[in-house]
Amino acid sequence: MFNAIERPSGHPPVAAEVARDFGPLYASHGFIGWLFAITGPVAIILSVGANGGLSQAEIASWIFGVFFINGLITLILSWRYREPLVLFWTIPGTVLVGQSLTHLSFAQVVGAFYGTALLMVVLGLSGWVKRAMQLVPMPIVMGMVAGVFLRFGLDLVRAVLGEFAIAGPMVVVWLMLTALPALGRRCPPIIGALVIGTAAAIVLGKYDQSASLQIALIRPVIPTPSWSLAAMIELIVPLAVTVLVVQNGQGFAVLTAAGHKPPVNLVTVACGIGSALAAVVGGVSTCLTGPTNAIVVSGGERKRHYTAAMMVGVLALGFGLLAPTFTTLLLIAPKALITVLAGLAMLRVLQTAFVTAFKTSFSLGALIAFLVTVADVPLLNIGAAFWGLVAGFAISWLLERADFALVSNG
């Protein structure tokens, strides 16, 4: 079974080699990649956790898990394989969990985290990952993802209309930095939006003055899982799909396009192990991140990219240890700031989901998956995202057989 795991092509670099391969360019890429991860994506965790009724300590523990544990795995894998392999957490899976927390307990969700971790380890060790990734056509998966993500786009619009003094400047700065790539490379759009939004909130006195802010190390909360069949059915397959197909697929594509050869089965096993360890402290499933890896490999020599990934890992360790401080800092911010950050961070992902879902084949199945997911009506105590996948696949199988034939022949 272990024969499926890819072996490193050479010896790991010694400290002197890492120091030689490192440099200001790779440090800056690592820093910007980490900075991206701690803004919009963290805002999504805060939004999901708060709406799901989690305590501040539980949210901080979740953030600790997805940063510290995945930072450590990133550090080890990038060093051992001399490849940029940044692992964080599944953003669409986090949104999916947010939907489930409206009718499932956090203990039931954590139980599903463990189930998802086990499934990924088995798929990685067996070498079945590629086959499993091809079971459900990508357009149908992305139709479901678009349905899950739609709420963030709608909340962004509502925030702009309801809290324009904060949201308006954030959107303007984001648009400006996005429209001017030369400027955007110096200051990523999401970072510019965070800075201007924070400044506007301070000037307008929108921060919660009653909360005390102090430097504090994490005291992890270890939730006791509940083994619910309904939660397992609802979450395990969709969570695994968001990791293996949506997130890892994107990460592998980014790294391959940059000339790297990411070990698919090894990364899958690492995601399973990371997911199990993160679940211990209430964190969502681990994945190979697309956006951060794209930043890490965006310039410089290919053989030195691994040092930028290691930089991300080191910074993630520190952020995880200080998770209570950062969680408090973000939670005392006005809701509009977090909502707009999360919405802006999701815009490109939502755009990609729509384009992939409806561009070519399986478009009717993708539409059904989207509509069923947006309707958000659970059936048999199982959430709509799962039924979106089932319904989309069933409709395509009945009415789009020619698309399946094209995929088989291709």
- Mean pLDDT, the chain, integer: 87
Stated length of the chain: 410
Which one is predicted more confidently, 133 or 250? 250
Which one is predicted more confidently, 257 or 48? 48
Entry pTM: 0.74
What is the CA angle 157-160-165, rounded to 5?
175
% of the chain at pLDDT higher than 90: 43
For the stretch 167-181, pLDDT in tens is 999 999 999 988 988
For the stretch 239-248, pLDDT in tens is 988 888 778 8
Q: Which pLDDT score, from 0 to 100, does residue 378 have?
A: 73
pLDDT band at 237 (very low <50, low <70, confident <90, very high): confident
Least confident of 76-80, 118-122, 290-294, 346-350: 346-350
Which one is predicted more confidently, 120 or 343? 120
Diameter of the chain by CA atoms? Answer: 63
pLDDT band at 143 (very low <50, low <70, confident <90, very high): confident
Which of 134, 129, 35 lies closest to 88, judged by CA? Answer: 35
Residue 208 pLDDT > 70, yes or no?
no
Q: What are the extents of the domains in the chain?
A: 12-207+214-409
Which of 37, 92, 41 lies closest to 319, judged by CA? Answer: 37
Which of 243, 310, 245 lies closest to 272, judged by CA? Answer: 243
The phi-psi region of residue 259 (left if phi > 0; otherwise alpha if psi is between -120 and 50; otherwise beta) is left
**Please, are residues 266 and 6 in contact by the beta-carbon 8 Å criterion?**
yes
Query: Stretch 198-210: mean pLDDT, rounded?
Result: 80
Q: What is the DSSP letter of 4?
A: G
**Please, are residues 26 and 304 in contact by the beta-carbon 8 Å criterion?**
yes
For the stretch 356-397, pLDDT in tens is 889 888 999 999 999 998 998 877 656 677 788 889 999 999
Least confident of 98-112, 188-202, 244-258: 244-258
pLDDT band at 1 (very low <50, low <70, confident <90, very high): low
Give the separation between CA 82 and CA 348, rounded to whole angstroms.
30
% of the chain at pLDDT higher than 70: 94
